[in-house]
Structure formats: structure tokens, C-alpha cells
């Protein structure tokens, strides 16, 4: 059964006189892993920020689980949205365990529950708790720090997780490892909606069950990776695919 969980209805966003998003309409269903693909400045981050209430639309409506976002308690809402970004901003003076525990602590979880959850999460992101829980962020590689970013975003079991180009700064091999992790984690958790922003077409096609291609604040195509590759809807999408000739092969390679 599909249940609409994030809906944009005629959303418009301007910063001063600069209209960034003219009229955005889409529906994301519960449990989907959607990637948003677009070049720099196309409005990807702005879209994510309107989903977790950091920005308000200038016009139109954002609905979360059927509720207009402006009628929701934003503090509550953000706690229910994991957020993973490139500069994950781990606190340098806190251990990995303490970093992951920030929100659970804020919510008043007891020590035992927190410790159990930290161990669970470290295992989920494939880092041995006995080895890593008591280290400090600067004692981890960039890829490992991003894993902590993912663990931290999942700490209080949010139904939504937003990723904003989290792996942009990593080398290709580490990046592929983490993409696989995200996919595996999404499959292993029930009904979690993941929204993953990237400007890397291979990442978008590999990770997304559906891919939203954005250009200048508008959707060029929102479809499965297979449809995007075999039936590009606009000349923009065609050109995007043309930038890397092997995309179709790559997509097959990943999905076979
Ligand atoms: N706070 C702001 N004030 C003014 N303009 C802004 C603000 N935030 C974003 N913009 C503008 O909105 C447009 C879209 O920005 P956005 O950050 O959503 O792009 P993006 O798709 O995430 O790009 P990137 O891939 O570089 O992160 C850009 O032209 C940007 O300059
Ligand atoms: Mg951005």
C-alpha cells in the first residue's frame, strides 16, 4: 500500500527578489528511497529545508503525513527527521558514543537505553562498538565520520531521513561503500522514508528507487532509474545522461 508522506503542492520559494522555486509539485510515499538529482543552485537544499521546516515556502503548501507543515510543531518535526550533511559537525570534544547520544539524551532517555542504542547503531553502520564508541571524531577517517553522521541521524528512530550530499567529499571507493550501506540500511528498516540529494548521476541512479531530476527549481523528470535511463523525459535529462555514456551499463551492473 502506498501512503503519501511528503507532498509539495504548488510550492514557490523566493529569497528577496530571487525566485528559486517557481512551482514545485510532487508526492513521496512512505518507505521510499528517493534521490534528488540536480546541478549546483537547482534548489535541492532549499527543497530539503522546506521539508524539515528550516525554510517556509513563499507560497503553496508542504504536507507531512497529510498535515500542513505550518500547523506542526517544528521542534517535534525536526526530531522526527534525521539530517545527514557533508559537514556532519561532530562535536570534537565528545566521544563517538556521546555524539550519537545527543538527541536521545535531550529526550531524557536513561543511560542504559542510550548505551544499548549507541551499540545497535554502531553495529548498523558496521563499526565495532568496542573499538569506536570511546574514540574522538578526529581519530576516525572521513568515511567513518560519515558513518557516525548516519548513525546519529537514526538515533531516535526517525520515520524520515534527509541526506544532503553527505558523501560529496569522499573518494570514489569509500563513497561506493557508503552508498551500499545506505541502501542496506534502508532495506533493513521498515517504512523509513529516505530522501537523498546529490549532483552525482551515478549515485542518484544507484541509490534511488525513484529519482527526481531538478533543474532551476523545477522537476524535469521524477521516475524510476530504469525509466530515466531508457525514457529520458526532456532534453535536459538526455544531456545529463549523455555526460556519462556508460550510465546505462553502470546502472545494469549495479542492479543485476
Ligand atoms: N538564504 C538564502 N538567501 C538567498 N538566496 C539563497 C539562500 N539559500 C539559497 N539561495 C539561492 O537559491 C538557489 C538554490 O540554492 P540551493 O542551496 O537550494 O541549491 P542546491 O541545489 O542545493 O545547490 P548545491 O548543489 O550547490 O548545494 C541558489 O541560487 C542560491 O543562491
Ligand atoms: Mg545544496
The domain that holds 223 is classified in CATH as 3.40.50.300
pLDDT at 66: 94
pLDDT of residue 169: 83
Residue 175 CA to residue 218 CA, distance in Å, equals: 28
Residues whose CB is less than 8 angstroms from the CB of residue 219 and which lie 6 or more positions away in sequence, other chains included = 24, 25, 26, 212, 213
Q: What's the pLDDT score for residue 256?
A: 57
pLDDT the model gives residue 244: 60
**Span from the CA of 45 to the centroid of ligand 1 (angstroms):** 7
Distance in Å, CA 168 to ligand 2 centroid = 11
Kindly state the cell numbers that stand for 197.
540529494
- Would 137 be classed as within a structural domain? no
Predicted local confidence at residue 56, as pLDDT: 94
Cell for 27?
508526492
Q: Who's near 220: CB < 8 A, 6+ residues apart?
A: 213, 214, 233, 234, 236, 237
Q: Is the CB of 199 under 6 A from ligand 1?
A: yes
In a domain, 100, yes or no: no
Could you give the CA distance from residue 228 to residue 254 in angstroms, rounded to a whole number? 15
How far does residue 155's CA lie from ligand 2's centre (Å)?
Answer: 24
Give domain status of residue 246, yes or no: yes
pLDDT for 73 equals: 92
Half-sphere exposure of 251 toward its Cβ, with a 13 Å CA cutoff? 20
What is the tally of structural domains in the chain?
1
pLDDT given for residue 250 in this prediction: 61
Among the atoms of ligand 1, which is closest to the Cα of residue 44? 21
Centroid of ligand 2 to alpha carbon of 76 (angstroms): 24
Q: How far apart are CA 97 and CA 14, in angstroms?
A: 40
pTM of the model: 0.91
Question: Does residue 125 belong to any structural domain of this protein?
Answer: no
> Is the CB of 42 within 6 Å of ligand 1?
yes
Q: How far away, in angstroms, is 135 Cα from ligand 1 center? A: 35
- What is the best residue among 12, 20, 21, 52 to mutate for testing ligand 1's pocket, by most ligand atoms within 8 Å of CB? 20
Q: Please name which of 88, 63, 82, 90 lies closest in space to residue 162, comparing C-alpha atoms.
A: 82
Q: Tell whether 52 is covered by a domain.
A: yes
Q: What's residue 246's pLDDT?
A: 55
The pLDDT of residue 79 is 82
- In the chain (256 residues long), the average pLDDT of successive 10-residue segments reads 93 96 97 95 95 95 95 88 86 95 93 96 93 95 90 91 91 89 91 94 95 97 96 94 65 62
| Cell numbers given for 101 | 547520544
**Ligand nearest the Cα atom of residue 50:** 1
Number of neighbouring beta carbons within 10 Å of residue 147: 25
Domain that holds residue 13: 1-80+160-170+190-256
In a domain, residue 90? The reply is: no
> What is the reported pLDDT for 177?
87
Identify the pLDDT of residue 245. Answer: 53
Query: Using only C-alpha atoms, what is the Rg of the chain?
Result: 18
In a domain, 151, yes or no: no
For a ligand 1 pocket test, name from 11, 45, 85, 86 the mutation site with the most ligand atoms within 8 angstroms of its C-beta: 45
- Confirm or reject: Cβ of 20 under 6 Å from ligand 1: yes
Instruction: Determine, yes or no, domain membership for 149.
Output: no
Amino acid at each position: 500500500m502506498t501512503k503519501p508522506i511528503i507532498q509539495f503542492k504548488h510550492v514557490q520559494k523566493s529569497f528577496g527578489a530571487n525566485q528559486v522555486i517557481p512551482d514545485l509539485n510532487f508526492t513521496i510515499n512512505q518507505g521510499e528511497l528517493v534521490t534528488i538529482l540536480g546541478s549546483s543552485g537547482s534548489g535541492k537544499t532549499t527543497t530539503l529545508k522546506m521539508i524539515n521546516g528550516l525554510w517556509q515556502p513563499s507560497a503553496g503548501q508542504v504536507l507531512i503525513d497529510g498535515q500542513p507543515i505550518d500547523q506542526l510543531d517544528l521542534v517535534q518535526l525536526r526530531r522526527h527527521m534525521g539530517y545527514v550533511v557533508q559537514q556532519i559537525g561532530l562535536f570534537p570534544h565528545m566521544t563517538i558514543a556521546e555524539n550519537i547520544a545527543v538527541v536521545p539524551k535531550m529526550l531524557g532517555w536513561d543511560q542504559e537505553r542510550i548505551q544499548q542504542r549507541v551499540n545497535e547503531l554502531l553495529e548498523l553502520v558496521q563499526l565495532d562498538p568496542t573499538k569506536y564508541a570511546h574514540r574522538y571524531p578526529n581519530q576516525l577517517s572521513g568515511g567513518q565520520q560519515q558513518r557516525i553522521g548516519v548513525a546519529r541521524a537514526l538515533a531516535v528512530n526517525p520515520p524520515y531521513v534527509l541526506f544532503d550530499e553527505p558523501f560529496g567529499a569522499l573518494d570514489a571507493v569509500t563513497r561506493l561503500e557508503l552508498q551500499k550501506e545506505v541502501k542496506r540500511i534502508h532495506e533493513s528498516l521498515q517504512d523509513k522514508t529516505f530522501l537523498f540529494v546529490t549532483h552525482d548521476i551515478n549515485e542518484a541512479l544507484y541509490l534511488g528507487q525513484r529519482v527526481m531530476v531538478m533543474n532551476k527549481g523545477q522537476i524535469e523528470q521524477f521516475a524510476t532509474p530504469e525509466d530515466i535511463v531508457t525514457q529520458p523525459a526532456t532534453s535536459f535529462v538526455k544531456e545529463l545522461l549523455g555526460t556519462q555514456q556508460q550510465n546505462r551499463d553502470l546502472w545494469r551492473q549495479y542492479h543485476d
